[in-house]
Chains A and B, each alone.
Chain A
């Protein structure tokens, strides 16, 4: 089966510009996650969707970050405006939809964002 698809793979923007990341999860996976991974660190959860509902967005900086998952399939994560500290790899993952803690998460290759 096809894996989690993310685009773009790389993005370089100037600060204060907007940026958007797209994710297509594995077919049939109800749960979708967005993580941010800073250099030399592990991923940190930004938001988790169960179908089209955001069930955990407690770590999402809502002043500048937004996300949506229309029709419970693809998802878009947006940053507006971007700041220098947003430079990181943004990972999307999906899982079948059991408990997040025991459900195997399948990760995409990530989008490496550089903010200049």
Chain B
């Protein structure tokens, strides 16, 4: 079974702090994704990566950056956390290799609160 893990289930940070969210997958997937989930809005894509050191902006990249130095690890960085970034953050991965029909597999999520 695919396993996607996220470094924290719950996180509380203060406004202006730099925040790192880590995601690791163990199935040698090429694609990795960061979403945020807010009630009534579904999932919104922040960034995705289709290879090591490769990234593309999603729908809401402002205020976020990402890093993918190793295939299995994809990090989301909030450069200067703000209260409007309080949300549930979900990481996902999929097989890749140019296949657009791949299933995405999700981690348990990190609920971030910015005070």
Bound together:
no
A-to-B contact residues, CB < 8 Å: none
B-to-A contact residues, CB < 8 Å: none
